[in-house]
Amino acid sequence: LTAADLNAQHHLTVGGVDTLALAQKYQTPLYVYDTGAIRQEIHAFKAVFEANDVNYQISYASKAFAAVAMYQLAAQEGIHCDVVSGGEMYTAKQAGFPMEKLSFHGNNKSLAELTEALDYGVGCIMVDNFYELQQLANLTAQREQHVTVMLRIAPGISAHTHDYISTGQEDSKFGFDLNSGQADEAVKLAQAAPYLDLVGIHCHIGSQIFELDGFKMIVDKLVTLFARWQTELDFYPKIINVGGGFGVKYTSEDQPLLPTEFVDAIVKETIAQTQAHHVPMLEIWIEPGRSLVATAGMTLYTLGASKDIPGIRKYLAVDGGMGDNIRPALYEAKYEAVLAKDPSQPSDEVVSIAGKYCESGDMLIWDQALPATQPGDVLAVLDTGAYGYSMANNYNRNPRPAVVFCENGHDQLVVQRETFADLTRLDVPLTATEPIK
Ligand code: LLP
């Protein structure tokens, strides 16, 4: 948090808008984004590629935060997006996002989804497995419609183990296995399918990655592979897609590299390896999700009840929780919160932030220092922009919060708050007064 995030009243701001005013105007819980910060991250990625003078594509992994307005923002910035379901694809379409800039991922795309992708004319399908490859070969032949594809490879490299070349990561539901020859087989099948235009290879080694090594290793491994494929299969991939996963700073304990440092290393390694292996220089694609939106977003809550267990712990409860941010419960993810009315006040009490859901695991933050609070105070949980709204749910029949974009001192509602009526909209009452026969 910097001084620039506070206004003259010492209130926390987002995109130049007072968070207390936002809480008042839209109620809480509320997701708010500084869209200028998202644009800055995009520009920073672009600048690294351009400084290295390489062909590239930034494809926003929209699972991190998908809404019509977000696809519009991506379109404004001229970047690609990746989608992983018919629902994300439909949302992008509704946003008027250019379909040729869409990539479609997923390890079990349905025939309906593949058909939808072809109907829409999505730019690229990331083929994950043999079943999909066959379905897509058949579908495109029936329709006499070409489609651009990349193959997703499981490179046998895990970013989360100390031993990067762990067989552990081979044991993944995603992608064609490399070591057993399945990737070669997939290339041959794709080459033989007259309507599949195979342009490149994709892999993704994990998320919230803090080290460069894993990325360098996939570049080395893929370029070595491409050199062999040139001679053995007459296959010259044009694109190397290294996926996403660039880590972000959630708490003061996190010391990630800048996303741009990852990309710079990836680009330099690709240049070095292609030269070393006599492979034509590749177009480099990245798929950042978290690193584009996480720190640009925060969630505003109102404090309510508290419970002080002497000598043990003080719980402060907010009006949201695991329904709007399941990451602490699911991954033991850590966040930090500040008081919106004066984040720079000295924090002299250690508290834990509980949600309002009927589950002991519904905790947003364990043991963090905060200034003295009152019920009704607005609490901002920071850096919730990725996998917060996109993983929100209606547990306990709580409506999902609204989403507001803020930029240059202006705010715009981009997702409405769900209502109780929305919660029963799909419910169908029993028609009989007796057991269903
Ligand atoms: N590309 C592919 C193929 C992916 O599977 C993912 C994330 C990304 C790109 C984007 O990764 P990112 O840059 O966001 O790390 N729900 C989890 C994260 C799951 C990520 C799944 N795949 C969380 O909340 O931490």
> pLDDT digits over 234-267, tens only?
999 999 999 999 999 999 999 999 988 999 999 9
Q: What is the predicted pLDDT for the residue at 3?
A: 62
**Buried b vs exposed e over 242-271: b needs ≥16 C-beta within 10 Å?**
bbbbbbbbbeeeeebbebbebbbbbbebbb
Give the distance (Å) from ligand 1 centre to CA of residue 399: 25
Confidence of residue 124 (pLDDT cuts 50, 70, 90): very high
Mean pLDDT value across residues 332-356? 95
Do both 287 and 254 map to the same domain?
Answer: yes
Residue nearest to atom 16 of ligand 1 (CA): 387
Whether the ipTM is more than 0.95: the answer is: yes
CB 306 within 8 A of CB 316: yes
Q: Is the pLDDT of residue 285 over 80?
A: yes
Domain count, the chain: 2
Give the distance (Å) from ligand 1 centre to CA of residue 244: 7
Q: State whether the beta carbon of 245 lies less than 6 angstroms from ligand 1.
A: yes
Instruction: Give yes or no for a cis peptide into 29 (omega within 30° of 0).
Output: yes
> Among 270, 291, 312, which residue terminates a domain?
291
Q: What is the predicted pLDDT for the residue at 4?
A: 67
Do both 280 and 312 map to the same domain?
Answer: no
Mean pLDDT value across residues 171-193? 95
Do both 337 and 393 map to the same domain?
Answer: yes
CA distance readout (Å), 405 to 43, 296, 325, 378, 427: 18, 10, 18, 18, 31
Q: Which tokens hold the place of 373?
A: 């609070």
- Residue 430, domain member (yes or no): no
- The three-state DSSP-derived secondary structure of 121-188 is CCCEEEECCHHHHHHHHHHHHHHCCCEEEEEEEECCCCCCCCCCCCHHHHCCCCCEECCCCHHHHHHH
Q: What is the predicted pLDDT for the residue at 166?
A: 47
Could you give the dihedral angle defined by the CA atoms of residues 48, 103, 36 and 376, in that order, rounded to the nearest 10 degrees? -130
- Residue 390, domain member (yes or no): yes
- Residue 215, domain member (yes or no): yes
Judge whether 290 is annotated as a binding position: yes
- Residues 308-339: pLDDT tens digits? 999 999 999 999 999 999 999 999 999 999 99
Mean pLDDT value across residues 128-148? 98
Q: State whether the beta carbon of 175 lies less than 6 angstroms from ligand 1.
A: no
Mean pLDDT value across residues 297-313? 97
Q: Is the pLDDT of residue 163 over 80?
A: no
Do both 263 and 330 map to the same domain?
Answer: no
Q: Is the pLDDT of residue 165 over 50?
A: no
Q: What is the predicted pLDDT for the residue at 160?
A: 64
Which candidate, 251, 121, 128, 127, places its Cα nearest to that of 198?
127
> Among 291, 317, 352, which residue terminates a domain?
291
Do both 203 and 308 map to the same domain?
Answer: no
Q: What CATH number has the domain bearing residue 360?
A: 2.40.37.10
Q: State whether the beta carbon of 103 lies less than 6 angstroms from ligand 1.
A: no
Do both 102 and 195 map to the same domain?
Answer: yes
Domain range for 237 is 52-291
Whole-number mean pLDDT of the chain?
A: 95
Tally Cβ neighbours within 10 Å of residue 233. Answer: 12
Q: Which of 14-23, 155-164, 242-251, 271-280 has the lowest mean pLDDT?
A: 155-164
- Burial grade of 315 (CB within 10 A; 0-12, 13-18, 19 or more): middle
Helix (H) or strand (E) holding 102: strand 102-104
Where is pLDDT greater, at 408 or 159? 408
Judge whether 16 is annotated as a binding position: no
Rounded to whole angstroms, the Cα distance separating 58 from 78 reads 9
Backbone φ and ψ for 414, nearest 5 degrees, come out as -120, -20
Give the distance (Å) from ligand 1 centre to CA of residue 46: 20
Do both 382 and 368 map to the same domain?
Answer: yes
Judge whether 327 is annotated as a binding position: yes
Q: Is the pLDDT of residue 104 over 60?
A: yes
Q: Does residue 358 have an active-site annotation?
A: yes
Judge whether 60 is annotated as a binding position: no
One-letter amino acid identity for 265? A
Do both 361 and 253 map to the same domain?
Answer: no
Q: State whether the beta carbon of 287 lies less than 6 angstroms from ligand 1.
A: yes
Q: Is the pLDDT of residue 391 over 50?
A: yes
Q: Three-class SS of residue 195?
A: coil
Q: State whether the beta carbon of 159 lies less than 6 angstroms from ligand 1.
A: no
Q: Is the pLDDT of residue 96 over 80?
A: yes
Do both 332 and 386 map to the same domain?
Answer: yes
% of residues, the chain, pLDDT over 70 = 97
Give the distance (Å) from ligand 1 centre to CA of residue 325: 16
Q: State whether the beta carbon of 295 lies less than 6 angstroms from ligand 1.
A: no
Give the distance (Å) from ligand 1 centre to CA of residue 9: 38
- Residue 346, domain member (yes or no): yes
Q: What is the predicted pLDDT for the residue at 1?
A: 64
Q: What CATH number has the domain bearing residue 124?
A: 3.20.20.10
Atom of ligand 1 nearest to the CA of 386: 24
Q: Three-class SS of residue 263?
A: helix
Do both 83 and 231 map to the same domain?
Answer: yes
Mean pLDDT value across residues 111-139? 98
Mean pLDDT value across residues 91-111? 98
Q: Is the pLDDT of residue 76 over 90?
A: yes
> Strands, E, within 166-319: which ranges?
176-177, 196-202, 239-241, 283-286, 297-309, 313-318
Q: Three-class SS of residue 250?
A: coil
Rounded to whole angstroms, the Cα distance separating 114 from 86 reads 9
> Among 234, 259, 291, which residue terminates a domain?
291
